[in-house]
A and B are shown apart, each in its own frame.
Chain A
Amino acid sequence: MEEVKKTSKQIMNEMTRDVYVRAAEAKKAGKPVCWATGIAPQELMTTMEIDTVYPENFGAAMGAKHLSGPLIEVAEEQGYSNDICSYARNNFGYVDVKHVDDPVNLPMPDMLLCCGNSCNTVIKWYENLAKEMNIPMLFLDTPYNYMDEGASEHQIRFMEEQVYYMISQLEEITGRKFDYDRFKEVMEISMQTGEWWLKAIGVAKHKPSPISGFDLFNYMGIMVCDRGRPEARDLFKQWYEESMEKVARGEGPWKDQEEKYRILWDGIACWPQLNLTYRTLKKYGINMVASNYPRLWMITYDSPTIASMVRAYSENVGANREIPFELNAYLKDTETYHLDGLIYHSNRSCKPMDFKQYAIRKVVIEKTGLPSVIFDGDQTDPRVFSEAQFETRLQALVELMEKRKEGRKEDE
């Protein structure tokens, strides 16, 4: 019998699960497991063949499976404030209960890898874990880029030195030598994965876009957990090719609904309401074609060297940059993706992303005239979101986008 080729979606779902299966097996076999922040230099762990899982990714999964609420409550009962990022609260809750009623669970870590490029919360979060579990924490400090041009040479040297130090820590922990040739290979694969990821999500620029934007949120998990593996690179390549075939056939995001409006989603998804937000958008024919959140994993670098790698971890992450960096990306997106509007998720959890919202929104309105709305929600705390308020804002956005389209037609 001829073997039926799996679709990228099938592969993606399998890979998403396998990350946790592999880590659980490693744990069982007595091998060390690492917990890492979302955008940390996995290259080191991949080189050392240390199975790594990502509590932020796990938190998102818990949110989407409606399991985050109870974990958050456990953390709050212990005294963690409800003002702390809910990814962190999820994880603190999980550390306490150590198990959820789900096929996928998070094996307990033997070491931690933290990178400060996303926020300060992760640093305190991981320090806390390191202290409570008495395990080593490897840390890459990526100084915030106050300068529009990005990281300075002395910042790069500072980060390079830290990587060498982390390598020595890893050698000590595992009792194995670090293989620099393998490291180079892993960096090369990671670079290619990053490029295919950008190419794949860039397909949404076609009108209509065959990608319904929530695919970005789904495939993103692979970028978080697996980008040092050739399977991830191949997955994004396949996804890109499948999507381009759909473009050639003129297919839109849905079979039973037309793509009427194209928007950018600012911020993290509302994982507990992923389905609801998706359905509501679809109901109005709104396709999310771009988002700054998946773009955070724009870890592309031009040569497989430590300097080039740390530069990417520092400079490419919008959360580690001043407003103009992201603003320019937004302004470019409005054209590249033929946007009709923007929706900003004022996320109770993620202050570094929220703080920029009003400033960015103001300039985007001034420069492009595109309508946008802000709604309140949270990435994993299910208590913050209000369905009626979300829909009212969304419908208002539709009315504004419609008005703008009418106005344009009249001008023609």
Chain B
Amino acid sequence: MFLGIDIGSSSSKAVLLDEEKRVLAEEALNLGTGSNGISQVLEQVYSKTGRTPKDILYSVVTGYGRNVYKGADAQVTEISCHAKGVTHLFGEARTVIDIGGQDAKVIRLDGEGNVADFVMNDKCAAGTGRFLEVMARVLNCDIYRLSDLAAKSLRGTQISSVCTVFAEAEVISQLSLGSKVEDVAKGALQSVAKRVCGQARRIQVAPQVVMTGGVALIPEAVHMVEKELGEEIAVPGSPQTVGALGAALFAWEKYHR
């Protein structure tokens, strides 16, 4: 059995694969680096499969917390892991858009599971899940509810600040001036979509485009990115665990080398 672990800034994910690279268990938990999220998520995959750490032949860790985690046999960057995971699920994929808690990255694939090029956001949280979390808090709703709200809006409010802190202040003042909650929700999603598509264009987007990460669970966010890019987007069944899946696939490869 092969284990892939992805410790992100705000969530922990694990995937267990069997010898035939079939997924035995995949779990994600919204607790990231510095928490006990990873041990919780590992307990979950073990109890689901009835296995123990002893059954693991090889494990690979990825994500922001990969350097600190000591329990894995090897570590690989989240860039290579996402490329690997997406190619496994979608053989035709050429572009990956991954928006996580504090990271947004766009990866161009070479068709064989390798990274051809990639871009990542800079130190600022604009265009990441964190931006949406802040917006959801201002709107007093769950981050996933942003989607339902946005779907009801005819026209998104323009949020001109890219900086999350300024955008929060801007949105509060817009709400006080009478902007509708639905329009602000749509504006927030549009802002993230614009930002990530700006990144994507730097490395040439080619179909098929696959979206992963927590933000891919928000249907309206995916829809906005589609509109902004002018490309249809595929979303895997479990978008949050694609990096961990890639890590598990690396574990399989490293074991069989």
Contact = CB atoms under 8 A, between A and B. Distances in A.
A1 interface: no
Contacts of B202: 358
A376 B117 contact: no
Nearest to A388: B64
Nearest to A386: B123
Contacts of A84: none
Interface in B40-65: 64
Nearest to B107: A396
Nearest to B76: A399
Q: Which 6 A-B pairs have the closest CB atoms?
A: A376-B122, A396-B79, A396-B77, A395-B77, A399-B80, A386-B123
Interface string B80-95: 1000000000000000
Contact of A391 (B67, B114, B119): B67
Contact of A399 (B115, B119, B120, B122): B115
A399 B79 contact: yes
B2 interface: no
B123 A396 contact: no
A388 B80 CA distance: 16
Interface of A is mostly: helix
A393 to B, nearest CB: 7
A57 to B, nearest CB: 27
Given A388-B64, A392-B77, A395-B77, A403 B114 contact: yes
B131 interface: no
A384 B67 contact: no
B77 A384 contact: no
Interface of B: 64, 67, 76-80, 114-115, 117-120, 122-123, 202
A343 B41 CA distance: 36
A389 B77 contact: no
Contacts of B80: 396, 399
Nearest to B67: A391
A393 B114 CA distance: 15
B117 A392 contact: no
A130 interface: no
B59 to A, nearest CB: 18
Contacts of B77: 392, 395-396, 399
A393 B123 CA distance: 13
Interface string A384-412: 11101101110110011001000000000
A386 B125 CA distance: 13
21 contacts: A365-B117, A373-B118, A374-B119, A376-B123, A388-B64, A388-B67, A389-B122, A389-B123, A391-B67, A392-B77, A392-B78, A392-B120, A396-B80, A396-B115, A396-B118, A399-B77, A399-B79, A399-B80, A400-B115, A403-B114, A403-B115
